[in-house]
Structure 1
């Protein structure tokens, strides 16, 4: 698998905001739309990695999860508590929670539409045109809840001509997939694209009692896109209608240890298990997740000459039904059924253009509305897995919420002197949120309603001493909206909002094309001041005696360095590398929690490590393409290295005053820390012609070193602990055609 930075010598044209391919100065330029305008990668004063999705297809990747470690300071791990859910972290900024009311810190934008929840983000790669990873706050153009950055995904547009591609893959663990995209049209004014993706697997876990495979998945994504471009008109319309359906076995690996309550009720061999090889044997009761998510996107573009107008309308809906054995043991201790519904609707209207030769702009407005509901039935110490939680729990908990947000934004470039440019802009965002929490028999717990607003500015300057060098510096502010606690269990906590959190990010960088563009080298250094952190904490209250609330707990400082590099020393050979260094520390982190003596006192977590913040991550890759008599052969390999990082804020090594506080927390629980990851991937592809059709055959291997460990791990208030395992060594083959 080659490195994942877009090669500097391949032209990739992303759709412009007004549905036109931006002109490039020569065939070596990479066109990106990171600032809602088409410009070359090396002229964009933003820390950005443009990623070629075809590289990921070479190793039979199915979701964006394989970007982890490929772009500097980017982590993407799967969260099995929600369908197609991801924990995303850029530059150490993350929020690992799948509740619909808990919004992400990294925005995922698909064809211009912001995805409002962590679920539904693990997108299939097969029909992707380009992926841009924007690092640092992107609040000016992409809005609230992008304080860490944005993953901007652009899918292919209808070609307006007959053609397509299709492939079938098979691999270890009885994993197979079929994918197809077919285009048709009249070549000028009308085009239609149909797509269908299917993948399934028996899963890479083994059940410790039945001996059968566990963790299987069955996923379908299908839809159609229609593109209209009336003759002799500067107008275009693109409508995409699609649906995603998923069913998967929900498995938790038990990592409960002696001293936690549940360990006393579980068989001895199911407690005190390690967080490496033991993760792949599970013991829990069968559990299933079903997810159905239709969606529609309408993009309208109108070029008025001096002004280009873009309208993007997005609608998404989902229904989820998921059971989960959270204790992960063969003893029936904590089993839930979660039924959820979600709907989001968004509208963005943008205007862009030039004023003279030295000034350009993008201005616009944005509206977002979402509604969601969750009902959870819980079977606690039922000791009978045959009883449906919906029968066992007569006092089910229901959470209902609504988010309404609107914003106005502007982003401007002013070439104020020869080779100097000033970039500046801002966004004003207003959010209104409602949340209610109730139980089926005991009634309403409480509800909250409140508004949050923020202006998020950005300013930067860049200088090009020559055509192959750019230097830039910037300051930007990111904003993540406040809200209400979905797990609150008293009237007071349910009605008390937590406030917004903000990040001030300072960045300097350079982008270089060296040795007649044989080497592309991009460097960035940044300092982020993180204020009013939102964090879940456990306090007394509610029917079970404890409740989890979200509150603003303190401040953090994150410093880092990032490098992207591509080298093409000879014809057919490309070498790539990335590097990310992070130094993340809490300055203050005070939260109310329950002390060992059973009273609520302040806990000081300032000594803990921030989560999803590895000190080092990077990748090295090589790809070699060799012509042959039948076509070509492409060999590629990639090594991703990620140093250990914590996955949850937890309390270990307590000292201090347990009765009045503060209680000093020395570190996070070692079970929620990953080990060092060395992920080696490789593939070999033969491209050939078959009956006037382009065909390819790929053999691939992922995680060839069989590096095993956690992708997520949680401890639950001295009761129990559970984890998710990363994919072990796997391999397979793919046969595909393009026509």
Structure 2
């Protein structure tokens, strides 16, 4: 592992206008600083792409915030089905959600991701009260932590004294209903936001139905001495059909449904089932999630301090039925997927002359909970699995298996009207405890039982504004990414069986970035970003039939690319936009791909991504027409290599305001259409995506 001197700079371009350098404490996420020569206001636009509320509220088949990110530069969605947003995955610059930092109002919401549920549970994040989504790519300041790909921050609306009530409901393809309600208000020192939604669909794959309810509530109170305290609650309850294997080689094949593989999330792998068949229609999962958060915020004349706490849980019960008899249950198990996992985050900032100082830290404890098998009919399982304890009985879990802690310090120094620099450093500690054999139902242990790491990571950057409307930013940083619980768990099992006996090290990434941006008299903007990542000990995994997941380190991975984004205002009402991503991911010394069949390329990694469209906005009518293109990808199917083709999607959205500022409120008729030309494509190998889909409905605000 490489060692580096622990000092650095991280460049930050801050959107500026006029002269001076002042601070205003009002507004979440907004900073205004005043000195004699410089005015620095708000969130730096060079580092944050903004997804506005209008785009977030475009109806989609998945009713997920994920869908609002599909057209952003460098974003790749990998979904088995858009209607199963619980299990869907996001990539940014080729990095998945384990290498991204996802926040809700600045608080990280990445989870443990045990039992295949993923590090971000998108289903609990309802979009009815989201004001914007901020995307910061690449080398981010030290306060954002050990992210490689960047930061996605979901910002909710701030209540105002005038009460706001909004409701919407849409209906469309595959008998899909999506209904949402939100109520916001501020009254004296008290402010609150309450919202809920209901989503249901029959889905388009076999046994692909989904029913979901979301409830959330936030309340805050302004206290004396410039203090504010608040608390929030998020809850989701979902029942999802487990996609049934439906191909011609199955004796239960149904040609009325698309050909697809079986959902691999959760329960028995297909090879466990007798005769290499998967479960049948009616198999489903009941999934319950809830999270509680609280905060205390203090404002000073030249700064602020804030403390946040978040705790989250997930319980899942899976029901599997026989393929030949949907009434015959063959397996039922209950799992505490996330068991009182928690995060504590503290931060403070202070203005000292031309220096904006920030310091803080995080503490996180997490692991996986119990699993109980309530019913098993062993006659439906292959005798080849020998019925280990965890298949028949479940296991105890290990909820406090991992601890993560960090401290950071950074200084944004506006040393000249044309120059700004940022000094940043972050110290991290990570520990994965020895795994108790009872935690997963096996009887053996291995020599390497713990992972204990600490790293001091610098950030370095410089921003130069050589002319009006132009900026150049260069950044460098080092980041570490630590094994998740699923990775640690499966690596430990691999070592116990001696199937694939390797070390498991944390990733260490050197990150380099150069960005150039130019604004042309408020009519056009172009941004070009080039990036390069040199990653040692890249953690990879592959699913092996009869074994499960195999986890290992690739000695070195390089990811490099260029992102080009541009917007152009043709008129006050008509705007065009485009973004293009050209990227390449190469690897060296992959112990799984010793024959180098991918020619040192990363799997499931498109080299080209393109999004473009036009937006029209008038007093009554809002419309968008856009295109998404994803290039071809190479995919591992066990040890076999499969090429996934490229695809182009044409999509549209229209909103018409037919009642405005009346005593009955504001009413809009809305319509959205996705994949209008009916392109055949897959985001995840084995799972075809739907053809043309349409949703139509009403949205009202009072």
TM-score when normalising by structure 1: 0.77
Q: Decide whether aligned partners of structure 1 residues 167 and 82 sit closer, same or farther in structure 2, where only a CA change above 3 A counts.
A: closer
- Greater mean alpha carbon deviation, residues 479-488 or residues 556-565: 479-488
Determine if contact 1:223/1:240 at 8 Å carries over to the other structure: yes
Task: Report the CA distance between 1:693 and its aligned residue.
Answer: 0.8
- Give the corresponding residue for 2:6: none
Task: Report the CA distance between 1:692 and its aligned residue.
Answer: 4.5
Give per-residue Cα distances to partners, 1:149-207, cap 9 Å, x unaligned: 22111112332432221111111111112111112332x411121111111111112x4
- Give the corresponding residue for 2:566: 565
Determine if contact 1:341/1:372 at 8 Å carries over to the other structure: yes
Q: Decide whether aligned partners of structure 1 residues 580 and 52 sit closer, same or farther in structure 2, where only a CA change above 3 A counts.
A: same
Determine if contact 2:616/2:623 at 8 Å carries over to the other structure: yes
Determine if contact 1:556/1:588 at 8 Å carries over to the other structure: no
Consecutive unaligned residues in structure 2, runs of 5 or more? 1-14, 16-23, 34-38, 264-277
Q: C-alpha distance in 1, partners of 2:391/2:451?
A: 31
- Map of 1:62-461 to 2, 5 A cutoff? 62-78=63-79, 84-94=86-96, 104-114=98-108, 115-116=110-111, 117=113, 118=118, 119-122=120-123, 123-138=125-140, 140-144=142-146, 146-186=147-187, 188-205=188-205, 207=206, 214-230=207-223, 233-254=225-246, 266-267=250-251, 278-279=259-260, 284-285=279-280, 286-323=282-319, 337=333, 339-342=335-338, 343-356=340-353, 358-373=354-369, 375=371, 382-383=379-380, 393-394=391-392, 396=394, 399-401=397-399, 402-434=401-433, 436=435, 438=437, 443-446=442-445, 448-461=449-462
Q: Decide whether aligned partners of structure 1 residues 184 and 361 sit closer, same or farther in structure 2, where only a CA change above 3 A counts.
A: same
Task: Report the CA distance between 1:551 and its aligned residue.
Answer: 2.0
Consecutive unaligned residues in structure 1, runs of 5 or more? 1-7, 9-15, 26-30, 32-36, 96-103, 208-213, 257-262, 594-601, 653-667, 714-722
Q: C-alpha distance in 2, partners of 1:250/1:430?
A: 38
Which of 484, 489, 500 does residue 486 from structure 1 map onto? 489
- Give the corresponding residue for 1:704: 676
Task: Report the CA distance between 1:338 and its aligned residue.
Answer: 6.1
TM-score when normalising by structure 2: 0.81
Task: Report the CA distance between 1:87 and its aligned residue.
Answer: 2.0
- Map of 1:586-625 to 2, 5 A cutoff? 586-591=587-592, 604=596, 607=599, 609-625=601-617
Q: C-alpha distance in 2, partners of 1:724/1:172?
A: 18
Task: Report the CA distance between 1:492 and its aligned residue.
Answer: 4.1
Q: Does 1:22 align with 2:19?
A: no
Q: Decide whether aligned partners of structure 1 residues 189 and 321 sit closer, same or farther in structure 2, where only a CA change above 3 A counts.
A: same
| Secondary structure class of the residue paired with 2:680 | coil
Determine if contact 1:700/1:732 at 8 Å carries over to the other structure: yes
Q: Does 1:729 align with 2:702?
A: no
| Secondary structure class of the residue paired with 2:603 | coil
- Greater mean alpha carbon deviation, residues 67-76 or residues 501-510: 67-76
Q: Decide whether aligned partners of structure 1 residues 269 and 194 sit closer, same or farther in structure 2, where only a CA change above 3 A counts.
A: closer
Determine if contact 1:49/1:132 at 8 Å carries over to the other structure: yes
The aligned length equals 634
| Secondary structure class of the residue paired with 1:556 | strand
Q: C-alpha distance in 2, partners of 1:642/1:250?
A: 27
Q: C-alpha distance in 2, partners of 1:224/1:538?
A: 39
Q: Decide whether aligned partners of structure 1 residues 136 and 707 sit closer, same or farther in structure 2, where only a CA change above 3 A counts.
A: same
Q: Decide whether aligned partners of structure 1 residues 281 and 422 sit closer, same or farther in structure 2, where only a CA change above 3 A counts.
A: closer
Q: C-alpha distance in 2, partners of 1:498/1:430?
A: 16
Q: Decide whether aligned partners of structure 1 residues 392 and 582 sit closer, same or farther in structure 2, where only a CA change above 3 A counts.
A: closer
Determine if contact 1:685/1:699 at 8 Å carries over to the other structure: yes
Q: Decide whether aligned partners of structure 1 residues 24 and 142 sit closer, same or farther in structure 2, where only a CA change above 3 A counts.
A: closer
Q: Does 1:57 align with 2:57?
A: yes
Q: Decide whether aligned partners of structure 1 residues 568 and 547 sit closer, same or farther in structure 2, where only a CA change above 3 A counts.
A: closer
Q: Decide whether aligned partners of structure 1 residues 573 and 379 sit closer, same or farther in structure 2, where only a CA change above 3 A counts.
A: same
